[in-house]
Chain A
Amino acid sequence: ELKVEQNPLFLSMQEGKNYTIYCNYSTTSDRLYWYRQDPGKSLESLFVLLSNGAVKQEGRLMASLDTKARLSTLHITAAVHDLSATYFCAVESNTGNQFYFGTGTSLTVIP
C-alpha cells in the first residue's frame, strides 16, 4: 500500500514570508496532485505534476516533483491571508486510478 506523508501538519506564518510544504511517498509513482480545501468546503485542484522534474507555478504557489526521491514540494512565496487553507497532496498509484492522500497541511497566514 502506498503511504503519503506531509509535513508540517500545521503551519502558522506571517504575511510576506516564504515557506515550503513537503510531501513524501513510499512507492514509485509518476503522478502527483496538489489540492486546496477551505474550511467546510470541498477540494479544489491546484497542480497536476506528471513527470520527474515537473514544476508548476500559479501566483504565489509553486509545486515541484522529484520522482526519484519520491518527494514533492509546495512552495509559498510572500504569503497572504487568502492562502490560509488546508493543502493536500495525492499520489496516483502506478497501477492507475487509485489515489492516496496525505494527511494535509493546515496553513494559517497571520496579518
Chain B
Amino acid sequence: NAGVTQTPKFQVLKTGQSMTLQCAQDMNHNSMYWYRQDPGMGLRLIYYSASEGTTDKGEVPNGYNVSRLNKREFSLRLESAAPSQTSVYFCASSTWDLSYEQYFGPGTRLTVT
C-alpha cells in the first residue's frame, strides 16, 4: 500500500497563478483533509471531507477550493495564488475505528512569489 500520496512535491507559482494539489489514498478511508503548515503555527485545517460527496470548511479556508473526486482522491485548488499561501501543504486521511487517527501524505512545498 502506498498510503497517502501527494503531487507535486514542490511548486513555485507567481502571484495570481492557479494550481491544483492532488491527493490520493489507497486505504479505503472515508475522511480526507487538507492542512497547511507554517513555521511556528503548527498545522491548520483548510478543508475536510467526512465522506465521498461532502466537503466542509476548516480553520483557514479563504483562497482555497476543494473537490472530493471519489473515495480515493481529494484535490485542493488555489484559484489566484498569493504570497501568503506560501506554505507546506499536507493531505491526510482517516476512517472511524474507535478514533479518527489520521495518516499523512509526504507534503507539497509551495512558494508563491
Which A residues are within 8 Å of any B CB, using their own CB? 1, 4, 9, 31, 33, 41-45, 48, 50, 88, 90, 92, 96-104
Contact = CB atoms under 8 A, between A and B. Distances in A.
Interface residues of B, number: 26
11 contacts: A33-B99, A42-B104, A42-B107, A43-B104, A88-B42, A92-B99, A97-B31, A97-B50, A98-B48, A98-B58, A99-B102
Chain A interface mostly: strand
Contacts of B102: 33, 45, 90, 99
Contacts of A97: 31, 48, 50, 56, 100
Interface of B: 31, 33, 35, 40-45, 48, 50, 56, 58-59, 90, 92, 98-107
A48 B40 contact: no
Contact of A43 (B40, B56, B90, B98): B90
